[in-house]
Amino acid sequence: MDGRSLEHCASVAEELDRLRVPLSLLTTPLPATEQSTVDWIRFRRSAGDAVVLNGFARGPVLVPQQRRMRRKPSLPAHEAGLRLIASVASFEARGLVTDCFAVLDATVSLGTMTALRRHGFTVCADASGVHDLKTGAHWRGRVRRLGQRAVIPRRAELVRIAVDAADLASHTCRWALLDAVDDALRDGAIPGTYAAVRVPSPLRASAHGTRFSPR
């Protein structure tokens, strides 16, 4: 991510801070990642945002764009574990740590979730929702594209709002993101990050409202 993209991300993050809405920063830092980007991610984490490992060894994406859902081929736990070890090593080499994993444009294989548990991850988010890897519970909630109003469903469900960091260069995209967050807040959503997600019982979900997490 270049300096201008980082500037736009920081500006949007400040707007969300005023709304008391934390971010989930999905990223896989590679050696070529600019240090200023890594420093900003670490700063945001210290301020309460969640840092999330975004898939296996892909380019750094802070807030990934939603694509049409597709199903990943079955990935055995052993192979997923090897990929995870390499990805975590690259992640930690830049001074970033997390126990949250996400791939928002596909469903995650059972082998991948097994590998995540073995390596100490507690949360896995995919196109279908969020998995609590400690309890095995699954909280359903699709990722909302910008331009789609984040309507709160009648039953308790996650509302997830996603945008690609590069798209924040557009004023239209930035305003669309903030409008989507405003819509969710007006409908009673409770802001949260992937790191804070723990699947509650239906009664607790109804009592505390619907959670949502912008990315």
- Taking the chain (215 residues) in consecutive chunks of 10 residues, what is each chunk's mean pLDDT? 82 95 85 82 94 72 38 72 90 90 89 94 93 90 66 63 88 90 88 78 33 53
CA-wise closest residue to 153 among 144, 165, 162, 164: 144
Give the SS3 label for residue 25.
strand
| Whole-number pLDDT of residue 41 | 93
Pairing between β-strand 138-140 and β-strand 129-132 as defined by DSSP bridges: antiparallel
Q: Is 104 helix (H, G, I), strand (E, B) or coil?
A: coil
Joined together, the tokens standing for residue 154 give 């009648």
Compute the Cα dihedral for 158, 11, 69, 147 and give only its sign: positive
pTM for the model: 0.80
Rounded Cα–Cα distance for residues 75 and 209 (Å) = 35
The Cα–Cα gap between 200 and 203 comes to 8
Q: What values do phi and psi take at 88, rounded to 5?
A: -65, -40
